[in-house]
Amino acid sequence: MDKTTLRQQLRRRRELLRPEEVEIASRGVCRQLATWQPLTQARTVLAYLPFRNEIDVRPLFAERPDIRWVVPRVDGRRLALHPYHPDRLVLHRYGMWEPSADLPVVAPAEIELVLVPGIAFDRRGYRLGFGGGYYDRFLPTCPARRVGITYEFSLLDELPTEEHDQRVQWVITPVQIVVCSWRIYAQATDV
């Protein structure tokens, strides 16, 4: 199945989730993340603000006040990073909340862990997003470890990929933490 068709199918399924289903899934992911060692050891974490029934990781912001939480803002064709301030959010023309542009900018090099939203991920760490390429352009600029966040039904064995697609090292769903096998897969295909 091609990316466009798969994206449409999975987006439709996610957008049909009832609010209580989104809340239950979000609690499951946050419960796992709250005590997960890569998160507990990080001082600066890039998260995201939920959009169109994405898993909501914002409860972690209050639960882990020792972490400097950073969120992205769409700036042309790239993502700009800003500290999270709940009273300094603006509504983007695409309908998602993002930090105000007048907040201080955080350099990608300061980020230690990135929580990456996605419509789907596969077990190799590949991601299927909304199709704008923002994370595929951003992730190569950031040396942080990468964690995909998605629903259990959106974790697939294999996604269609292209040369520019970026990978994550882990995928966390409401019921599991998957260590992505992309390094093993890459070594096997290099032989």
Scored b (16 or more CB within 10 A) or e, 24-47 reads ebbebbbebbeebebbeebebbbb
Residue whose pair of structure tokens reads 């595929």 in the numeric block:
136
Residues sharing a CB contact under 8 Å with residue 156, sequence separation 6 or more, in sequence order: 120, 121, 122, 123
- Cross-sheet strand order for the sheet of 113-117: 78-83, 68-75, 44-46, 113-117, 145-149, 170-172, 177-179
pTM above 0.85, yes or no: yes
Amino acid identity at 110: E
pLDDT digits (tens, 9 = 90+) for 65-117: 999 999 999 999 999 999 999 999 999 988 899 999 999 999 999 999 999 99
Residue 65 C-alpha from the chain's centroid? 20
Delimit the domains of the chain by residue range. 3-190
**Of the given ranges (23-27, 29-33, 185-189), which has the lowest mean pLDDT?**
185-189
pLDDT digits (tens, 9 = 90+) for 168-189: 999 999 999 999 975 544 444 4
| Architecture per CATH, 3-190 | 3-Layer(aba) Sandwich (3.40)
**% of residues, the chain, pLDDT over 70:** 95
**By C-alpha distance, which of 56, 75, 68 is closest to 138?**
75
